[in-house]
Each structure stands twice: as C-alpha cells, then as structure tokens.
Chain A
Amino acid sequence: GGVELLFNNVRQKIIEIPSRINLPKPTTMEDLILWIKDNLLQERSELFVSGNTVRPGILVLINDTDWELEGELEYEIKDNDDIVFISTLHGG
C-alpha cells in the first residue's frame, strides 16, 4: 500500500538481522518492528508503529499468512521468511 512513503519509496528489502537480538529468546516480530523503526524508517515513526506494535490499519503477512494466526508479535522469525506490510488506510 502506501507504506513505502515512510521508507523513502523502497518497496522491498532483504535484510539480515541477527538471530538473537534479545538473548536468550530468538528474534520475534516485536524485535523486528523495533529494529525497523530504529534502522529503516526515514520519518514519521508514529505512522508505522504504535507502542511496540504496528499502527492499526497496517496488515502484516508472514509468508502469505495472516500474522494473527501465527501469534502476532510472538512469532519467531525463521530464515528467508517473507514479511509484507500492507497499508489499508487510503484510497477507495
């Protein structure tokens, strides 16, 4: 959707993040979102994150599956996972 506006118009990015950001737990979605906020967000972080999760109105798909069925923030990220953020807030 329009989320790329916040990321300097870069649509896709393959990122490598350390597999253990918060020892001893493996990296979860929560860690990923915070990592994105700190490293990739160019501006207006409140339009993407709200608290420690994404803003309401932004869909997250992990390997084409709704993240709510995978545990949302608690999902542990595996190698080569495909994560998509879709904004549903504009247009019609």
Chain B
Amino acid sequence: MCSIEDVPNEVDVKIKSITKKCIKCKSTPTILIRHSTYCKQCFQHAFVGKFRKNMDKLRSVNSKGEKVMVGFSGGPSSSRAMLQLLSDYNEVLPNEISKKPLFSEVLVCHIDESSIFGLDDSDDHDVILSQVEQVAQNYNYSFIGLQIDDIYSPDYTSNGSYNKVLEVTFDKSKQQDIDELHAKICQQETSTKKKLQSLLDGVSKFTAKEDLAWHLKQCLLINTARKNGCTKLLLGDCSTRLSIKIISLTSKGRGFSLPLETSGLNSSFGDVTIVRPMKDMLSKEIGIYNKFQGFEATIISSLTSMMPPKSSIDRLTEEFIVKLERDFPSTVSTISRTAAKLTPPEFIDSDNRCIICLMPYQKDDKIWQSRITVMTTPSSSTIVKIQNSTSENSIINSSTCSGAATCCSSDCCTSKDLNICSLTDFLCYACRINMRDINSITLPPYVSEDVQKRSGRENLKKSIEEYFLNDDD
C-alpha cells in the first residue's frame, strides 16, 4: 500500500497540471472537487445547478406560492450560501412574467445560542445578532430572531399556554435499573435563561449536551414554522455535515430515525416538511463558492468549539470524516449514497414518538434493552423481576412514585404536581441513554405537555383494558 507521506517528485506535479483540464469547457482548471477539475465559471455553474435540481423536486403541478422558513445559523458554510442560491432561484426576472416563483414568502429564522455560554451581555453578542439580521435584510426577507431559552416559554407547546416543566432526577447511587428516573410535572418560577442553564449544567457529558441542544433547536424551528404558516423548513446541511451526522447518529443508537434525520425531504411532521437542498454539496465547494461571492462569515461558536477531538461523539466523528475525506475524496459521497438507501419506518403516529427528540422509536425496544443490559450481577431477585415484568413493573413503579414525592426539594413547586411513572416508556433508546448522564434536570414545557397527554392515555387504556376484545375471540 503506497504511503500517503510520499513527497510527490517534480515530474509528477508537472504532469498533473498539464493534462488536467476543466471537465466541462476544457480550459485551465482552478478547482479540484473529488476527482474532477473545474474552472471558476464551470464550478459555479455546476454548484448552482445542483441546488436547482434539488429545489425542482419540490415543485408539484398545483404548487401555488408557499411560505418557507430558512433555518439560518449564520455559520460560514451552508446557510449563507443557501440564502443567496434561494434568492436567485426564487426571483422572477422582468422578462419572464409567465414564470411563477415557487415561494411566495421567505422567512429567515435565527436561533441565538448565547445563553448556553452565558454571553448575554457582551458586545460581541450584539454585533453577531445585528450582522445576521443585516444579511437577511439584504435579501428583503423577514427576519425572526429567537433565543434558545425561548423553548421554555409556553408559546412553543401545542396549545400555546402550557407552562409546566418536567423535573427529572436520576439516582445514580442506586444504579439498578434505568427505571429509577423520578419525573414530576410542576411549575417553576425561574427565568427561561436560568432554566436552560440548569438543564445543561445538570447533564455531565458533552455528547448528551449537544444532543439536547439540537433537539431544543429543532423543536423551536418546527414550532416557529407552524406558527407562521410555513409549509417548508429549509436547513443548510451540506453533504459533509450529513455524513458526519449519519455516522454519529449510528454510534449514539439513533439508527431507527436516521433516514428521517438525514434525508433531503422529511415529511414525518405532517404539516411542516423539512428540506435539505444542500445535501449534495461538499463543505469544500460551499467554502469556495462563498469566497468567490465575497461573503463575510459571522463567527458562531458551538458547545465544542476549540475543544479537543474526544470531547464528544459528534466532534470525534467530524475529525474522523474530515481527515479521511482529505486523503480519500469519495468518502463523503459513499457514506451519503449508502445511507440514502435506508427507508424510513412506515407507521409514524404520535404515540410512537420520543417526547424529547420527536423522532419515532421502535415499540418494545425497552424490553430489548433490559435483556441486553447487564447492570447487576445475576441474582435470583433480578431474574424474578424480569420474568414477571408486566405485572411486577406496575407495582414497582407505584412504589417508586410514592417515593418520588420527596424528590423535588425546592419550594417553588405547587401542590398540584403530577408524578409520572414510567417516563422511560416515552423515550427512544438514545434519549434513555442520555438520561443516564443527568443529575437533576428540568425539561421544557413541550416535553411535559406530551408526557401528560400520553400518561393520561395510558391510564385510560389500563382502566378499560379488561373490556377489550382479543383478536382471537
């Protein structure tokens, strides 16, 4: 196997630049993407062409003007390029009166994550916000700026006024079963910023922190799109970012929802379709396009900026794939092509969704997990517990519930608190794993609203269970 460290001798280098031509117009090439060389104009032409191809898939026969929302993080690569491409795609030139623009209105939504770092009062923060708003105004698009701690306000629940939060504590000292999650719905009077900070402080691992932050953002974006009547949500994930996501989601145990989280078109949320038009462009192409267009990038830090590679799974995967891509340029496209063959699960109803990440999960994956997990050494008591799981579980859960009445020691919870048994039944496998890292956290209202609905339904089902006819009757 030839070594990558070989220094190319001069003869090789000269031959490379003479024989390579732009594959479209045969002039001198200036850009190398994967194994093809392009000159500047052909590169830009091909780049725009990829975007248009993905957008044309959205056109259907009866499409009238739709409202779309663009998720704009303001980072250097995708969103900035996507806005420019979108505005070029959507504009109607004066000589093309018969052509109708696909989108009647475009809203740009930016979620400000500075509360995560506690940077609310610094000057840099305001500069970044105004830069982002300026960018949106350059295209005459309406701008919606949100703070990530807004997820704790009641505006983002389905009925619009649900204000209670879900307090979850995990007793690490017992270490017996994942069922040891004490959950309680109660009212809390602290500010949204403080709630968010306590949520992230209560989680120890960075992987779980990043996951939670992403789920909160996703919920915010979808609910904002719904509230504003947008039928489509455009996200700017490039193919490099998507293949990093594919590998890291697989490592975190989210393979079941992987086809939904990484596909170009995701209609599992019903009224809002999530579209990723940049999924065929490498981050390198986007970086070069931005440079040619002269875009100034705003600097947005994330939780793991400037951190060593092993700080979280996402960071490690990013390091791995980017390094591999440099020496083997077809890595990203191979990963994307392979993952595109996965089909999403067929039945997605509201009962089958994880309450935190809003993605579908498999039924009975909890039983599977308890079977493969070894938490204590096998003793007679544990074996008895598993065998009588269905009947015993309800007894065990009710005893932990009565114990949970003392779990919340703060005075701000009212007496109308609702204790939730079997919270883990409503979580997908990966979110359950994340719950292992917590001490005591407060989940936002959209989670507690869902939990209340679902446990209400479960209780109702149990009370009329004996009246159900079996299939074989």
Contacts and interface: CB of A to CB of B under 8 A. Distances in A.
Contacts of B301: 90
Interface string A1-38: 11011000000000000000000000000000000000
Contacts of B79: 91-92
B78 A91 contact: yes
B369 to A, nearest CB: 31
Contacts of A87: 76, 287
Nearest to A91: B75
B252 interface: no
A59 B75 contact: no
Contacts, number: 98
Nearest to B324: A56
A66 B32 contact: yes
Nearest to A30: B7
Interface residues of B, number: 47
Interface residue range, chain A: 20 to 34
B75 A90 contact: yes
Most buried by A among B20, B29, B32: B32
A47 B240 contact: no
A31 B79 CA distance: 35
A44 interface: yes
A4 B236 CA distance: 23
Contact of B288 (A47, A61, A71): A61
A90 B300 contact: yes
A90 B286 contact: no
13 contacts: A1-B76, A5-B299, A56-B325, A57-B283, A57-B318, A59-B284, A61-B288, A66-B30, A69-B32, A89-B283, A90-B305, A91-B77, A92-B241
Interface of A: 1-2, 4-5, 44, 47, 56-57, 59, 61, 64-66, 68-71, 74, 84, 86-92
